[in-house]
Every structure is written in C-alpha cells, then in structure tokens.
Amino acid sequence: MTIPMADRYPGYDVLAKRTTPSWDLQTRRVVDQRLAVSRAPRFFSNEEFATLNAITGRITPQPAHRAPVPVAALIDDKLVRKRHDGYRAAEMPREREAWQCGLRALDAEAKALHGAAFHLLAGAQQDAVLRLVESGDAHHQAWGNMPPKTFFKQRLLPDIVHAYWSHPTAWSEIGWGGPASPRGYVRMGYDRRDPWEAVESADSNDEVARRENRRVG
C-alpha cells in the first residue's frame, strides 16, 4: 500500500534549515518573500482572483492537514512585480493581458454553459470547463484572438504548477531541502541523500530508499 505523501517525511520542515549553512542571505530573502506574499489580490480584481483560486483548486488540490500553498496569491504577486518569462508564443499576449483575458473568458464559458461564474460551479462542472479550454474546444468571443488551448498549456498550467512548487510548504511535503546555497548537494545519485536532508518514513513501501536512508546519518 502506498502511504500518503503527508506521512512519507513525518515532522520534516524545510524552514528548520533557515539559519544553517544550507541557505545564504539571498536564499533566505527569497523564501521569506514567498512566505509573506499578500493573500489579497493586488493585480487581479476580486472576481478574477476568485476564479483563479477556484482554478488552482482543481489543478493543484491540496490536503486538509496543513495550511494551503497560496498559489493564486503567488501568481498575483508575480504579475504585480512584472516578472516575465522572457518569451511567449507568437499568438499569445503578454502575461498580464493573457491572464486577465483568460480568467474573464473562463468565467464567460462557465456562465454560458452552466449559468454561473466559474468559482460558483461544482467541481465536476469546473473540470468540464477546464477540459474544453485544454482541448481548444472553448469558443466564447471573450477569448478574442488568444487561443484557449495555448493559454491553458503555456500560461495557466505552467504558472500554477511553478507557483505551487516554489513554496516551502510544498518542499516540506516531498522532503526536498530547497535551494542549497552555498552548501550544495553532494550525494546526487538515485535514492541517495545528504545527512541534512529529510529522512523517509520507515513505513515507506520503497525498501530501496529506506535502506539507503539508513546508511546516511
């Protein structure tokens, strides 16, 4: 039986290494900034933010045993700071315009199909709307010249996933120690860990990993 992710690295908190040689001053600043991100929208309108929150709940559902990663807030913060990827598909507008257009179009699709804004729909209805966008079968005029399929694959999905896994809460859940600057990672082989990394639970069904973990104190 596969154990829940929450039980794979019991008690592990990546923030416990904040003042250790693993993290330098710049790393601590970046992590602190992510932890302090405003939960209230600063770039998006309240309606857009509600839609984005609902979307992130379907793309990166989170466990109830811990405080959630503020995915929507991290995306909002990125747009407030005008942090761009530096590239985009020729048919796509810039990040800010793409997100605003995409969220409004998703709401328009939801209202046309189910009579309510996206964040008010049941989970199955939200998934159905997202599948239409993903497949390119969404055709509401609110999309304008932006292809729904490209928006989903090159903006919505990457931004949400990157935001989720950029947060220390997500790192702790998978036993990842975060950036290792200036210490660096040494044992880079499969199923090897450095002494200061998370120890996998003895209840794990991965015997190889457990055996290797026992070898490093």
**Running DSSP on this structure, what letter comes out for residue 142?**
G
Is 94 domain-assigned?
Answer: yes
pLDDT digits (tens, 9 = 90+) for 114-153: 999 999 999 999 999 999 999 999 999 999 999 999 999 9
Residue 21 predicted with pLDDT over 90: no
Residue 217 predicted with pLDDT over 50: no
Is 3 domain-assigned?
Answer: no
Residue 216 predicted with pLDDT over 70: no
Q: Which residues, 6+ apart, have CB-to-CB distance to 115 below 8 Å?
A: none
Q: What is the pLDDT of residue 205?
A: 53
Is 185 domain-assigned?
Answer: no
- Average model confidence (pLDDT) across the chain: 88
Give the distance between the most distant pair of CA atoms in the chain: 60
The amino acid at 58: R
Is 105 domain-assigned?
Answer: yes
Domains contained in the chain, number: 1
CA torsion angle for 121, 125, 130, 133 (degrees, to 10)? -100
Domain that holds residue 101: 19-177
Q: What is the pLDDT of residue 198?
A: 81
Is pTM, for the whole model, over 0.85?
A: yes
Is 132 domain-assigned?
Answer: yes
Is 193 domain-assigned?
Answer: no
pLDDT confidence of 158, banded at 50, 70, 90?
very high
Is 54 domain-assigned?
Answer: yes
Is 186 domain-assigned?
Answer: no
- How far apart, in whole angstroms, are the C-alpha atoms of residue 48 and residue 52? 6
Q: Which residues, 6+ apart, have CB-to-CB distance to 176 below 8 Å?
A: 14, 198
3-state class of 23 per DSSP?
A: strand
Q: What is the pLDDT of residue 94?
A: 95
